[in-house]
Amino acid sequence: MRYTFDHFNFNVFDLERSLKFYDEALGLKPVREKNAADGSFKLVFLGDGVTDFQLELTWLRDRTEPYDLGEQEYHLAFRTDDMEAAHAKHEAMGCICFENPSMGIYFLEDPDGYWIEIIPPRK
């Protein structure tokens, strides 16, 4: 028996704002969605168009306040083929929340406060 990565989930407060962010910042597009029959939730799965891995955004209708992410001791990572262009784009968007030049990485913060690591191409 073996297991393969399939998807990762972030719960989001404002689905449209999150969809816009992930499209603009990382080029992620919706690949499928699921809506509760009673309208109580909506799941939107985003893909990068290259790998099979998906980011699931979960929106809950009855949620009335943003999520408390605690100490944020987790993150999702994306590798880019052009670190300089990616950094310039994210800097212009104002979504870089932490940089570690000695490691050659930086982090974005999405509209809900989730951190996304941007890493350079493998050498």
Per-residue pLDDT of the chain (123 residues), as tens digits, is 676 788 999 999 999 999 999 999 999 999 999 999 999 999 999 999 999 999 999 999 999 999 888 877 778 999 999 999 999 999 999 999 999 999 999 999 999 999 999 999 887
Domain containing residue 40? 7-61+73-119
pLDDT of residue 74: 78
Asked if the structure places residue 2 within a domain, the reply is no
pLDDT of residue 59: 97
pLDDT of residue 75: 86
Q: Strand 29-35 and strand 41-47: pairing?
A: antiparallel
Asked if the structure places residue 66 within a domain, the reply is no
Q: Closest Cα to residue 108, out of 14, 54, 6, 28?
A: 28
Strand partners, 7: 54
Asked if the structure places residue 115 within a domain, the reply is yes
Asked if the structure places residue 37 within a domain, the reply is yes
Number of structural domains in the chain: 1
Separation CA 28–CA 18 (nearest Å): 11
The residues, ordered by sequence, that sit 6+ positions from 13 with a Cβ below 8 Å of its Cβ are 59, 63, 65, 66, 67, 111, 112
Separation CA 56–CA 8 (nearest Å): 6
Q: Active-site residue 73, yes or no?
A: no
| CATH number of the domain enclosing 57 | 3.10.180.10
Asked if the structure places residue 68 within a domain, the reply is no
Instruction: Point out the catalytic residue in the list 56, 99, 109, 117.
Output: 117
**Which parts of 1-123 fold into alpha helices (H)?**
15-26, 83-93
What's the whole-model pTM score? 0.88
Q: Closest Cα to residue 105, out of 87, 123, 93?
A: 87
